[in-house]
A and B are shown apart, each in its own frame.
Chain A
Amino acid sequence: MTYGFFFCISIGLIVFQTCIIPVLPLFNSFYDLMVPLIAYLCATRSIRESLPIIIIFGLIMDQLSCSPFMLHVTAYIWLYVSLRWITKVLQVGYRLRLPFIVSFGVLIENIIFMSNIVLVEPGMRFPAVAARIVAVQFLWALFTGPLILMLFEQTHKGWNRWLSGIFVRRTT
């Protein structure tokens, strides 16, 4: 059931990101919406439950984007590992971590993307627009990241309530 929830959420996020965000003004440098999902998985689910979702949706994102094969999968796995490590190092509560966790995630993802570009094109210089993209994404993540995480939390609770309601009705 957990997989069902994350599958629906991920598909919804991908469609929102590829269809709705491009037509919204001011949102043209919005961050990857899979980052808060990975942060949420990292905080609430086990590695066994998280990894299949991360790999499947990394592959889907790879296919929808013009990125090299496995780039999104790589970025998501390293993002997950880094966020788990940060969670271990920062011994603070989930609520206190909320404002920073998505922003860190966005930074890590962009570093991985830029490293790949440098790897493919040695000697390549990043234009000022690249720094602007990262800065804007970071700020967006700082302000909207916690809200999105809370939205996931509430939706997940609602999903569980709805499912348990169905099971209770069936058994009685």
Chain B
Amino acid sequence: MFSKKMVLIVGLIILVTANVIILSLSSSRYPSYKPGRIALYIVGPLQGVVTDLIRSARDVWYDYFLLVSVARDNTKLKKSLRHAVAKNNQWHEIELSNIRLRNLLNFQNAIAEKVLAAEVIGKDPSPWFKAIIIDKGRADGLTKGLPVMIPDGIAGQITDVSSHHSKVMLIIDRNSAVDALVQRTRARGIIQGSSTGMCLFNYVSSKDDVKVGDKIVASGLDGVFPKGQRIGEVKSLLKRESAIFHEVTVAPYIDFEKLEEVLVLLTPPKLEFVNQQ
């Protein structure tokens, strides 16, 4: 009834349509699914071993082949260490008196959040998406959705957890979104990733005052990242007369190419956010 060619063409059309539907459905959801977690179990330990080997090789290079400069540095450092020890003693005294005074005033401890340090053992295989694999997982108390940071600022969010490894979606990934503020003017918007390694600060009203060089911080309203954590700096700004929003590009403070260790915040401000609601 139908020729072979006809069946082939119809089959191809059905296949393409099904493919487009599956991809558009999965793209609109969280990039995580349960059976695929097996990948982290299989590849994670190997990535850990290879990363350790690379780091050991690098350490050998620095420890043995650069010993000449190290010896020179050592003499200088010993001198400065003597000064530092003396200074440290002073700071220690001040710290002790500070603690006593704090106790007197019944202040709470300044560090409110519990953090866990993790090592980066792998990166996203595709240049179009930005994720890292870290060497801590469910066994260390990590769960999906926890924020990941370094002292420079916000790095990303955990999107998948296996027993000893986790996948972190970086803020420069196009699927990432962080509720943020301009520190100077408190103008609000959403920080989204782009394939350029920069972030886009979307939905900033054209009425709001934003300048190149402005610091962008987390607003805390997404219930994931703590309020006030640094994200980046406004790199470029495009103000169109008729547009409702500014087109703002933000350069993150973190150099994601050199990310080696991260901190996972074990107590995100989620509950606080829910209570506020």
Contacts and interface: CB of A to CB of B under 8 A. Distances in A.
A63 B36 contact: yes
A136 B96 CA distance: 57
A127 B196 contact: yes
A64 B167 contact: yes
Contacts of A114: 128
Q: Among the interface residues A18, A20, A60, which one has the most CB atoms of the partner chain B within 10 A?
A: A18
Contacts of B122: 15, 18-19, 64
Contacts of A78: 19
A32 B127 CA distance: 9
B128 A64 contact: no
Contacts of A28: 127, 257
Band of interface residues on A? 35 or more
Interface in A47-78: 59-72, 74, 78
A32 B126 contact: yes
Nearest to A128: B196
Given A19-B121, A113-B128, A69 B26 contact: yes
A31 to B, nearest CB: 9
Majority DSSP secondary structure for residues of A touching B: helix
Nearest to B28: A120
Majority DSSP secondary structure for residues of B touching A: mixed
Nearest to B35: A59
Given A18-B122, A19-B54, A59-B39, A70 B26 contact: yes
A119 interface: yes
A87 interface: no
A62 B35 CA distance: 11
A17 B50 CA distance: 11
Contacts of B42: 11, 60
A74 B23 contact: yes
Contacts of A23: 54
Nearest to B124: A65
Contacts of B175: 66, 68
B33 interface: yes
B160 to A, nearest CB: 7
A63 B47 CA distance: 14
B219 interface: no
B47 A19 contact: yes
Interface in A141-168: none
B123 A18 contact: yes
A98 to B, nearest CB: 24
A129 B194 CA distance: 11
Interface string A13-50: 01111111011000011001000000000000000000
A74 to B, nearest CB: 6
A11 B37 CA distance: 15
Contact of A22 (B43, B46, B123): B123
Given A19-B47, A19-B122, A68-B31, A133 B127 contact: yes
B245 interface: no
B43 A18 contact: yes
Interface of A: 11, 14-20, 22-23, 28-29, 32, 59-72, 74, 78, 113-114, 116-117, 119-121, 126-127, 129-130, 133, 137
11 contacts: A15-B47, A22-B123, A62-B39, A63-B37, A66-B159, A68-B26, A68-B27, A71-B27, A74-B22, A120-B27, A133-B128
9 tightest CB-CB pairs across the interface, nearest first?
A63-B39, A63-B36, A18-B122, A69-B26, A68-B27, A66-B131, A66-B129, A60-B39, A19-B50
Given A15-B47, A60-B36, A69-B31, 18 more contacts: A18-B123, A18-B133, A19-B50, A19-B121, A20-B50, A22-B257, A64-B167, A66-B173, A67-B31, A67-B126, A68-B31, A69-B33, A70-B26, A114-B128, A120-B28, A129-B195, A129-B197, A137-B127
